[in-house]
Structures are given as C-alpha cells and as structure tokens.
Chain A
Amino acid sequence: QKEVEQNSGPLSVPEGAIASLNCTYSDRGSQSFFWYRQYSGKSPELIMFIYSNGDKEDGRFTAQLNKASQYVSLLIRDSQPSDSATYLCAVSSNSGYALNFGKGTSLLVTP
C-alpha cells in the first residue's frame, strides 16, 4: 500500500498568519501531487497541483515539492477564518489512474 502521511492536527493559526501544511509519501515513482480542501460535510475541492520540484504559487497558496525527500507542503499566506477546513494531500499512482489520499490535516484559523 502506498502511504501518504499527514499530521491530523488540528493546526491552529491566528488570522493573517501563514499556515504550513505538510505531507510525506512513500512511493518514489509518484509524479503528481494535489492539495484538496474539504469543508465539514462537503466534498473535496482542488486547490492546486504540483509536479515539478520547487514552489508553485497561486494567489495566497504556495505548494512546495521536494521529490528527493518525498515531501510536499502547502503554505497559506494571510490565513482567513474561511480557510478553516480539512486539507487533503493526494499523490498520483504509477498508473496515473488513481490518487492515494492522506487522512487530512484539520486547519483552524482563529479571528
């Protein structure tokens, strides 16, 4: 079983701070990495994906990938209470057909 590990949290940050969410994976053959946000009682929605080493920025979100360390992270700048949700890290399988999901990190942004 390919492992995708995330700290379950909750991670609590004050409004306006940077939230840092981390994910490690076991399959060295994985090529693509996704961050989904899931509000309570709702379905996962894609925030961003990354497949090259380094940083990828989209608005207040930055994904960071280090394939040598098998580590991917998501930074949320200027965190808002509306960012409070569970963040799921997903890693593509070798076939490209399926995703392996971590259990998610619960983020709480306090006003």
Chain B
Amino acid sequence: NAGVTQTPKFQVLKTGQSMTLQCAQDMNHNSMYWYRQDPGMGLRLIYYSASEGTTDKGEVPNGYNVSRLNKREFSLRLESAAPSQTSVYFCASKWNPGQDTDTQYFGPGTRLTVL
C-alpha cells in the first residue's frame, strides 16, 4: 500500500514550457486535491476533485488545469509555465468527500522550478 504517490519528484522548466504533474492513490479514496506550498504562504488549494468525474477550483486555480483520469489518478497541468509557479506541489486524497472529519493524506510532493 503506497498511499499517495507523485511524479516527478523534481522538475526544472523554462518559462512557457508545459508539463503535467501526476498523482495516484491506492487507498480507494473518493476525493483528491492539488495544493501548492510557498515559503511564508502556507498550503493553498489549486483544484480538487470531490469524486470521480468532477473537478472544482480552489483558491489559486489560474494557470492550471486538472484531469481526474479515474478514481485513482488526478493530474495537474501547467500549459505555459511562469516563474510565479515555482513552488512545491502536493497532492492529497481522502475517503469521504463531504465528511469534514475525514483525514486528508498527502503525497511526497513535486518540487518545481520555473526559470
């Protein structure tokens, strides 16, 4: 049971390049989330998917798109990377989308640098 996995672990892009961050969970969770974490800013929600087939914007969605490929996988795409998107990206998942006492479990993170 690997929990939440993310690929790649590290990535360097040039401004304007595109890339997709991959996330998968093997816990049969229904909800999945993408956060970014910047120094002094805490964790900010980019997009989430409450259940397979649905996605919704979070606090900072601009410049990103997401795809809930199936119940296990939730990808985050940067179409045209900008230096402001340099950050650590975390994927998370939880079992019950509407249960607010349910715990979110985090993946190991992707460290992205945009030059």
Contact = CB atoms under 8 A, between A and B. Distances in A.
A16 B15 CA distance: 49
Interface string B31-75: 101010000111111001010000010110000000000000000
Interface in B57-115: 58-59, 90, 97-109
Given A32-B100, A43-B109, A46-B103, A97 B31 contact: yes
Contacts, number: 59
Interface residues of B, number: 28
A45 B106 contact: yes
Contacts of A32: 100-101
Interface of B is mostly: loop
Interface in A60-111: 88, 90, 92-93, 95-99, 101-104
A20 interface: no
A99 B103 CA distance: 10
Contact of B108 (A8, A42, A90): A42
Interface of A: 1, 8, 31-32, 34, 42-46, 49, 51, 88, 90, 92-93, 95-99, 101-104
16 contacts: A1-B59, A42-B108, A43-B106, A44-B106, A45-B106, A46-B103, A46-B104, A49-B101, A51-B101, A88-B42, A92-B100, A93-B100, A95-B98, A97-B56, A97-B97, A103-B40
